[in-house]
Amino acid sequence: MFYLVAFLGLVSCVPIQASKDEQALKSTVDSALAFATKQSMRMAEKYKYQEGELPRTFQQGKDISSDSRWWCSGFFPGVLWYVYENDPNPDVLEYAKLYTARVEREKYTTDNHDVGFMIYCSFGNGYRLTQDPHYKAVMLTAAQSLATRYNPKVGLIRSWDHNREQWQYPVIIDNIMNLELLLWASVNSDDKRLKDIALSHADKTMVHHFRRNYSSYHVVSYDTVTAIPHRKQTHQGYSDESSWSRGQAWGLYGYTYLYRETGDERYLRQAVLIADYLLHHPNMPEDYIPYWDYDSPEIPETYRDVSAATIMASALIDLSSFVDGDRVEQYSKVIATQILTLASPAYTAKLGENGCFILKHSVGAYPLKSEVDVPLTYADYYYLEALTKLKRKIH
């Protein structure tokens, strides 16, 4: 196992000779970022002249793209911004700006909750690195668009508008990720109502989405009259009561950044308890690359979901800075194991292969037979985010 304690700044300030294992991790992070730059630039070149198109996946030897309307449209621009952060050259910057611009119209999106993913991952990273005032304006507009989906009586942002015969007011665990845009906008504008909306959503999700063991449902639909749940499901998992792995990762990531942004100990406790559930789950593989659902009866003869692993890794890097004692060591071991595994040939593609995506073996929605065992833009995005966070800590 590989220890990150010295790198995470949570031990003595006395200089310590880096161990071989620590040097191996540092070398892996550097080489993984270098490869990501080459692979992502090839992807950028491939779609350069396909106006409005963004990479989505690569399936059965064919490129599958989308326009900005697809919920994942902001992830590839975000990948390019992380590449630029680690390799700030003009060519990368040009591509990051080009693909970010392809998503701009989504700042007016009010018919789904994914405007947070679309805009914060693209324009958010762009603004963080360039301080371009236009990017800030786009994000503030997008935050107002997202806020239109909040119903004060229910106290939550509505996720979906479809299947009205089944769901009155559906909220999915993924929606916890989009609150970060609202929190940012509340700080960068005079509209403090946006923070109230975000925290109301986070609090009600904490009450109604999570089971006693801190696993979560995927979908909770609320009665619009009573504002209490009338239906709880796991739409993209094995069964309603199962633990769909990416959904668990969304929850871990969401409550980790909620604590980072608010300092509210309730959110830290929630994140730690979710992490405890995941890291001690009997069906968690030794390499910490989860199966697509922790309760699939086909384990171990079923698919891993790399996207769940990358989201977990990014969240745990942050969470490791907020805890102490044995949890620091535990999280550090898991992070190192995940990164070293993901960077290996088992999960990292060869240059120019895999449709020019970085990672292989993610699962979109197994029960719907959609994007099973393929590369996905959000797996690459959270992998680059995790690598970037580690690089900041270990260099």
Active site residues: 114, 174
What does the block give as tokens for 21? 């294992």
Q: What share of the chain is helix, strand, coil (3-state, %, to 5)?
A: 50, 10, 35
The CA–CA distances, whole Å, from 278 to 137, 172, 245, 284, 361 equal 38, 19, 9, 7, 20
210: left (phi over 0), alpha (psi -120 to 50) or beta: beta
291: Cβ contacts below 8 Å, ≥ 6 apart: 245, 283, 285, 299, 300, 302, 303, 304, 305
Residue that has been written with the tokens 């403090």 in this structure: 192
Q: Which two tokens stand for residue 310?
A: 């990358």
Tokens of 339: 């990164």
Radius of gyration for the alpha carbons in the chain, expressed in angstroms and rounded: 20
**Long-range Cβ contact pairs of 25-28 (< 8 A, separation 24 or more):** 25/336, 25/339, 25/340, 25/390, 25/394, 26/394, 26/395, 28/339, 28/340, 28/343
What are the φ and ψ backbone dihedral angles of 291, each rounded to 5 degrees?
-70, 160
Helices (H) and strands (E) in the chain, counts: 13, 9
Distance between CA atoms of residues 164 and 162, nearest Å: 5
